[in-house]
Amino acid sequence: MAEVQLRHIDKRWGDFVGVKDFDLTIPDKEFLVLLGPSGCGKSTTMRMIAGLEDATSGDILIGGKVVNDLEPKDRDVAMVFQSYALYPNMTVYENIRFPLKVRHIDPATHDEKVMRAAEMVELTDFLHRRPADLSGGQRQRVALARAIVREPNVFLMDEPLSNLDAKLRVSTRAQIKNLSHELQITTIYVTHDQIEAMTLADRVVVMSAGNVQQVGTPTEIYNYPANTFVASFIGSPAMNLVKGTISNGVFTAENMTIRGLDTALSGDITLGFRAEDAEVNPVGSAPDVTEISGIKANVFSIELLGEATMITLKIGDALVAVKAGKDYSTEIGHVFSTNIPASICHLFDASTGLRLNNGSQSE
């Protein structure tokens, strides 16, 4: 059993708070992703679990045992770093084998364990090479194999893909996803890349400035962001957020009118919607904004994505993205209109940023 419990963990350096009241239980075999921008406290949280940082207050439990006072080597966790941390003078085989030697595992079992770990990450043809002779993706797979060979209770992965190019990130991400399914070991993964979080995680913890903003499955966080920070951080592109006013169920902003919203709300508000949810009107069809529930504005920019065309509009100070079909054709400066049903809108408090509606307006 490798359940991990973080009980009201704080980390402070003098007056600076790195992590504030982090309280979460990570069930056995769960793949949990800590997601947020640089400096949000996600790596600090992981380092406290690993024993590389001491918690200022709170308890860390692994498998039901408090580990605050245990050395990193005694916590039965394996960590994969962003920098690979391989020994340049050792072959791939010896790099993978090294944790077994350090932990005094029976040498008679080493070869079988190394070969099994190498096979899992498709490195059996590279065992004789040294790290300098490998690509970035291969080096990261050596680091993964070195963690696997230990057979730990918990995997800790700190931005393991950030040094790889885009193509290698995709393939190595698939490798990690497959390994997670095969090994069934509790995994805590740190990243600033929301695509990694969405594709890998059973649950995601979104963090900002040391605080947990939301915990949920990727689907929950994408469909029902708890606040404007989460809404603006999750999704590619991020959710559109437009400040305006609402009265009698009608939201208004520059070149934008949305009808059919909650009639109980009034005053300043932030309205959100996703680029793929808006309904694009045909080219040349641009009814007056006062007659529709949507946007009518001039095209600010156009991006051809292959499978779609991304149209950007400027609504007040906000840039708003709308995803049109791949064959949609227009030009910068031309009039563009889109329908935005109330059912796809997310409403947030203008001052606190907190979510006001529980789900789509149609629910």
Q: Are 308 and 274 in contact (CB under 8 A)?
A: no
Within a 13 Å sphere around the CA of 61, how many CA atoms are in the beta-carbon half? 16
pLDDT of residue 291: 61
262-300 residue pLDDT tens: 999 999 999 999 999 999 987 666 555 556 689 999 999
Q: Are 67 and 51 in contact (CB under 8 A)?
A: yes
Rg (CA), the chain: 24
Task: Answer whether the bond into residue 27 is a cis peptide, omega within 30°.
Answer: no
Other beta carbons within 10 angstroms of residue 64's beta carbon come to 9
At a CB cut-off of 8 Å and minimum separation 6, what does 76 contact?
62, 63, 152, 153, 154
Within a 13 Å sphere around the CA of 162, how many CA atoms are in the beta-carbon half? 16
pLDDT of residue 284: 61
Q: Are 145 and 86 in contact (CB under 8 A)?
A: no
362 confidence band (pLDDT: 50, 70, 90): very low
Class (C level, CATH) for 4-228: alpha beta
Domain 237-349 indexed as CATH 2.40.50.140: yes
Nearest to 136 by CA among 172, 108, 105: 172
The one-letter amino acid code at 74 reads D
Domain boundaries along the sequence of the chain: 4-228, 237-349
Rounded distance between C-alpha atoms, residue 36 and residue 207, angstroms: 5
What's the mean pLDDT in 90-107? Answer: 91
Six token digits for residue 135: 């690509």
Other beta carbons within 10 angstroms of residue 61's beta carbon come to 15
227-245 residue pLDDT tens: 999 999 998 889 999 999 9
66-92 residue pLDDT tens: 999 999 988 989 888 877 788 999 999
| Same fold across 4-228 and 237-349 | no
Rounded distance between C-alpha atoms, residue 244 and residue 253, angstroms: 5
What sign results for the dihedral spanned by CA atoms 5, 21, 77, 151?
A: positive
Task: Answer whether the bond into residue 287 is a cis peptide, omega within 30°.
Answer: no
Other beta carbons within 10 angstroms of residue 86's beta carbon come to 21
363 confidence band (pLDDT: 50, 70, 90): very low
Q: What's this model's pTM, rounded to 2 decimal places?
A: 0.88
Other beta carbons within 10 angstroms of residue 11's beta carbon come to 22
pLDDT of residue 215: 97
Rounded distance between C-alpha atoms, residue 274 and residue 252, angstroms: 18
Rounded distance between C-alpha atoms, residue 269 and residue 253, angstroms: 10
Q: Are strands 65-66 and 57-62 parallel, antiparallel or unpaired?
A: antiparallel
34-62 residue pLDDT tens: 999 999 999 999 999 999 999 999 999 99
Rounded distance between C-alpha atoms, residue 281 and residue 292, angstroms: 11
